[in-house]
Chains A and B, each alone.
Chain A
Amino acid sequence: SYVLTQSPSVSVAPGKTAKITCGGNNIGNKNVHWYQQKPGQAPVLVVYDDSDRPSGIPERFSGSNSGNTATLTINRVEAGDEADYYCHVWDGGSDSWVFGGGTELTVL
Chain B
Amino acid sequence: EVQLVESGGDLVQPGGSLRLSCVVSGITFKNYWMSWVRQVPGKGLVWVSRINVDGSSTSYAESVKGRLAISRDNAKNTVFLQMNNLRAEDTAVYFCASSRYDISTGYLGPFDYWGQGALVTVSS
Contact = CB atoms under 8 A, between A and B. Distances in A.
Interface of A: 1, 31, 33, 35, 37, 42-45, 48-49, 54, 84, 86, 88, 90, 95-102
Nearest to A46: B110
B110 A42 contact: no
Interface of B: 35, 37, 44-47, 50, 59, 61-62, 95, 108-112, 114-117
Nearest to A95: B59
Given A48-B112, A88-B110, A97-B35, 4 more contacts: A45-B111, A49-B109, A86-B45, A102-B44
Nearest to B6: A42
A63 to B, nearest CB: 11
Contacts of B46: 99
A96 B37 CA distance: 12
A102 to B, nearest CB: 4
B112 A54 contact: yes
For A42, A44, A101, the residue with the greatest tally of chain B CB atoms inside 10 Å of its CB is A42
Contact of B44 (A42, A96, A101): A101
Contact of A33 (B47, B50, B111, B117): B111
